[in-house]
Structure formats: C-alpha cells, structure tokens
Structure 1
Amino acid sequence: MSGDRHSVAETAALLTDPDEIARREAENGIRQFNLTLDIIRTHVKDAERPFRLRSSTILQLHKAALDGLHPLAGTWRNTPVTIGGSGHKPPEAAFVSEEIEAMCAYVNEHWSTSNALHLAAYVLWKLNWIHPFSDGNGRTARAVSYVVLSAKLDSLLPGAPTIPDQIASNKKPYYDALEAADGQLTAGKIDVSTLEKMLDAMLAHQLLNAAKQASGHQ
C-alpha cells in the first residue's frame, strides 16, 4: 500500500487556521499521552483492580486528543467515514458501538491466555478497522494499544521514543501492517502477526534506549 491513510468524514472540524490547528494538536497530544500514563498507573501493580478494556476508556482518550478540534470529540461518529489511501470500508455508524463492545470483549476474554503483543496488536488493528471516530482514529488507537500493552506487562514502560511516538514518526510500516491484517480478515482469519512483529521491535527499541540511558548515569 502506498500513500497516507486518513479519515474522510462528513462532520467539519472546529478550526480552520493551520497554525491554530497545529498548536492545538500539539497541546492535545501531550494531554492524551499524560492521560494514557495515568490510566496505565491505575492498573499497574494493583491486583485489586485488574485491567478490563472499556469503551469509556477509549472515549476518554479520544476526547483528550480532539478536544477543541472537532465537535464529536469523545463520541462515536454518527456519519459514514472512509479511509483515504486504503481499500478498507469501515462499518456503518450504527454498528460502531456494537463493534467496540465486541473488541473489548475479545481483549477481556483473552486477557489471561494471550500475550501482551497479540492483545496490543489486535486493539491497534481493530480500532483502525472499526474507525469509530470522525477524526483522530489513529492517535486514539495507538494510545489504547499502548495502555493494553503496558497493563498486560504490568509495567509503566521506560524509555523513549515510546511505541506511539515511533509509529507516528514513520507510519508506512504501521499502515502496511494494518493492511495485512485487513487482508487476513477478508480471507476469514484474525491474523495480526505483522503488527505483533512491528510492536515487538519497537518495544525492544524503547527498552534498549531506557537501558542505555540508565547505564549512562551510572
């Protein structure tokens, strides 16, 4: 696949000035990442509060990313959406909530039997496949996937750049992996192995950088 995947929806954004949009996106990006870390901290090393993926968490993370940028920040889309640069057609708006609940159920039901990379890759793919928002789908999918990965590993992962930042800095492998998973579903299979390999390499890079930084201060 070539080109950039991007949401094309009927709902108009709130801002039109490119500089203002860029400023707001940067501020919201920090806000969303801080919220991501807060959610992870809530569940790490806390046996009394086992992690469960909930639609409310996804909506919280979306609102943080799109607040002040889009009228539907923190809500599911109510119009059709297409993905520029992709042949995938997301489900109709009427089925979004149902698809999200099914995705959360998959993660929660497989929590004890599947590994962290699979669950994080599944969420990263499935949220993009559902494309539940008019805008901000990729940002939110990456944040939710990172929450799932960290919670399953029971760790506030050290190191930088983080996996979401690595994906954002070079999206082609990410887009290619999403397309590969879409193709597997068309063939009747759930196979996110390409995304798993990508996340595995990115996790190793993040943790290696943390180890290097730690050793440099010794």
Structure 2
Amino acid sequence: MADRKSEAEVPVLISDPIELAEKEAANALDQFDWGMDEVERWIKAKRPSLNISMVLTLHRKAMDGIDPYAGNFRPAGVAIKGSSHEPISGEDVARHVEEMLEYLKANWSSHTATHLSSYVMWRLNWIHPFSDGNGRTSRILSYMVLCGKLEKVLPGTNTIPEQIAENKSPYYNALEAADEAWKRGKTDLGEMEGLLEGYLANQLLEVHNQATGGKIYTEGEDEDPKNGIVSKIESHPVIAGGLFLLLATILGLLAS
C-alpha cells in the first residue's frame, strides 16, 4: 500500500531534503521525550491529563520548524493521498478531538490498554486534525495512552512507534479496516488491536533478549510483526515461558 499522506496547501519551510530529514529526526526525539515525561506526570498524579492542549503540544513538538501550522488544527479541509477516507471539515475538527478524548476518559477504567491505544491511533487519523504530522502525532499519543493505562513507561528501545515507522503497510491496512467498519456504522478495532499486541510483544521480547543474549525476532523475517512473533512463541515453549515471566514481572511492578 502506498503511503497515506496529507495533501493540503501548506507553505514549505524546509526545502532541502537532508535538512528536512534531520529536523524531522530531531523533532521526533523531542516529541517522544516530552510524551514520556507527560506519562510520568500522569502516573504521579494517578490520572491521565487528556485535553486538547496536550494533543496540540504533541503536534507542535513533531512539526516545529517544518509546518507553519505546528501546534494548531488545520484551518480547512484536507485530502489523504493513498486512502479513500475523506476527513471531516476543518470547522468540525476541535469537536471531534474533544469527543475522542471524552471516549478515552469515559472508558479508561473499563477497557484494556490495547483497545484504548488502538482507538486513539485510529480515531486521530480518522479526524486528521492537522495539515501534516497526523500519523506522527497519533502514534505517540497511542503509545502514551498504552503506557498511561499500564501506569508505567514500558521498557525496550524498539518501541511500538518505531516499529510502525519501519514498515507502515500493516498499520495502514489496520487504519483502512477500521475506516471501512466505521462506514458501516461499527467501531471495529480488531485488526489494529492485534497489530499493537504483536508490536508490544516485540518490544518486551527485546528486553528479554538483552537480558538473556537470545535472539527471537529478526526484522524482515515476516512482514506482519504479529504473525512473526506469534509463530515463534508457539514453536518455542521456553520463549513463551520467558515472555510470561517477563509480563508477570512487569505486572508485579505495576501493582507494587
């Protein structure tokens, strides 16, 4: 599947491709660090701070110096190249973002971490509130929700946002599947939830590998990270036992 890319008439701030890539990389680090600091604040306060200013700050961190509208909702309509989805009009953006955040607040206690993170990953992309940088903002916000719900900044350097960035096709497919379900009047995040579960397993197993010197999953072995890691766990009982032990340890830390 071709990259999903916002198409809006936005003035170009950086024309040199190398300079742009360097700025995007620096911004991505700044955005991630700010997001994890925010999660730490949520954990300390024992509640997530889910508000529009937080979403706008995440976007500004990603797009500062790249997009003249960094930290602001798009003022008009936008199309998505590589997708049949037609985002809502600019005047409806703030209302839909508020509704997304209210859904998280209302279901924070009753729904799983993977459901909530899948929901915000899809819904923010569905709203497409920014002229550019929607994917980057949705992926870090989704990861923050996952960590916040689990009340822990998750270990591992091969994080879920990084895994998605390495191969976006499964992520795009999951977004399209959720979009199609919504057109039929349903909220179906099954494909996105399954995808995030696989990415989460990869991230935690990286910690296991670092601790044991083992090697479980190699990039490129399977285009779908969920299928790759699941097949290895099913065929290696010792690996499965190690994963369950790791998860139990993490859950024990969360409960302490």
Indicate the residue corresponding to 1:83 in structure 2: 80
Deviates more, 1:54-63 or 1:178-187: 54-63
- TM superposition outliers: structure 1 runs of 4+ over 4 Å: none
Q: Distance in 1 between matches of 2:178 and 2:131?
A: 22
Q: Distance in 2 between matches of 1:111 and 1:143?
A: 18
> Given that residues 69 and 131 in structure 2 are in contact (C-alpha distance below 8 angstroms), is that contact kept between their aligned partners in structure 1?
yes
Unpaired segments ≥5 residues, structure 2:
214-256
| TM-score for the superposition, normalised by structure 2 | 0.81
Q: Distance in 2 between matches of 1:183 and 1:32?
A: 30
- The structure with higher relative contact order (CA 8 Å, sep 6+) is 1
Indicate the residue corresponding to 1:214 in structure 2: 211
SS in 1 for 2:22: helix
| Percent identical residues | 47
The partner residue of 2:195 within 180, 194, 198 is: 198
Indicate the residue corresponding to 1:168 in structure 2: 165
Cα offset for 1:160?
Answer: 2.4
1:119-130 alignment, distance < 5 Å = 119-130=116-127
Indicate the residue corresponding to 1:141 in structure 2: 138
> Given that residues 119 and 189 in structure 2 are in contact (C-alpha distance below 8 angstroms), is that contact kept between their aligned partners in structure 1?
yes
Indicate the residue corresponding to 2:89 in structure 1: 92
SS in 2 for 1:159: coil
Cα offset for 1:49?
Answer: 3.7
> Given that residues 11 and 79 in structure 1 are in contact (C-alpha distance below 8 angstroms), is that contact kept between their aligned partners in structure 2?
no
> Given that residues 4 and 85 in structure 1 are in contact (C-alpha distance below 8 angstroms), is that contact kept between their aligned partners in structure 2?
yes
Give 2:141's aligned amino acid: V
Indicate the residue corresponding to 1:13 in structure 2: 12
> Given that residues 96 and 130 in structure 1 are in contact (C-alpha distance below 8 angstroms), is that contact kept between their aligned partners in structure 2?
yes
Indicate the residue corresponding to 2:2 in structure 1: 3
Deviates more, 1:201-210 or 1:4-13: 4-13
Q: Distance in 2 between matches of 1:187 and 1:201?
A: 27
SS in 2 for 1:164: helix
Q: Deviations over 1:59-107 (max 9, x none)?
A: 1111000000111000000021111000000000000000000000000
Q: Distance in 2 between matches of 1:12 and 1:179?
A: 29
The partner residue of 1:51 within 48, 53, 72 is: 48
> Given that residues 65 and 139 in structure 1 are in contact (C-alpha distance below 8 angstroms), is that contact kept between their aligned partners in structure 2?
yes
| TM-score for the superposition, normalised by structure 1 | 0.95
Q: What is the RMSD computed on CA atoms of the aligned residues?
A: 1.2
Q: Deviations over 1:29-56 (max 9, x none)?
A: 1111111111111122x3x441142111
Q: Distance in 2 between matches of 1:4 and 1:70?
A: 19
The partner residue of 2:182 within 181, 185, 200 is: 185
Q: Distance in 1 between matches of 2:65 and 2:191?
A: 35
Which protein shows a greater Rg?
Answer: 2
Relative to structure 1, the CA distance from residue 52 to residue 191 in structure 2 (aligned partners, 3 Å threshold; closer, same or farther) is farther
Indicate the residue corresponding to 2:237 in structure 1: none
The partner residue of 1:154 within 151, 165, 168 is: 151
1:94-133 alignment, distance < 5 Å = 94-133=91-130
Paired residues, number: 214
Deviates more, 1:34-43 or 1:100-109: 34-43
Q: Distance in 1 between matches of 2:159 and 2:209?
A: 15
Whether 1:29 aligns to 2:28 is yes
Unpaired segments ≥5 residues, structure 1:
none
Q: Distance in 1 between matches of 2:118 and 2:50?
A: 14
Q: Distance in 1 between matches of 2:25 and 2:49?
A: 29
Give 2:27's aligned amino acid: N
Give 1:42's aligned amino acid: R
